Amino acid sequence: MGETQDCAICGAEVDPSARYPRYLCEECAARATAPDGRPLRFSNADLSGGYRAEYADTGEPYCSHNCMIDGVACRADEARFGGIVIQRVDAQRR
């Protein structure tokens, strides 16, 4: 029987990942905001990877990895094999 893992915000089932034990489901990740409440969008910088964040409402660069989702502190970063992963910062899980 395989392992299971839940989104660290809403508790929805996500694919298990030992590398990212507190990562979020796509629905929660889509609600990422800056601490001031402005919506954020994350992506790879180019085809080789890298990390880029911007305000979703203006496209202006957001120079941080820190974000909030439903009032919970999270951190976005480049995933190991490409893409972006957002994880809950605190050790508590839903």
Could you read off the pLDDT of 17-74 as tens digits, one per residue? 999 999 999 999 999 999 999 999 999 988 777 899 999 999 999 999 999 999 999 9
- Of 5, 16, 10, the C-alpha closest to 29 is 10
Q: What is the pLDDT of residue 50?
A: 86
Cα dihedral value 9, 10, 16, 17, nearest 10: -10
Q: What is the pLDDT of residue 91?
A: 61
- Of 2, 6, 3, 9, the C-alpha closest to 67 is 9
- For residue 11, pLDDT over 80 is answered with yes
Task: Decide if 45 contacts 54 (C-beta within 8 A).
Answer: no
Q: What is the pLDDT of residue 17?
A: 93
CA distances from 80 to 28, 64, 84 (A): 20, 19, 9
- For residue 92, pLDDT over 80 is answered with no
Q: What residue ranges do the domains of the chain occupy? A: 5-88
- For residue 1, pLDDT over 50 is answered with no
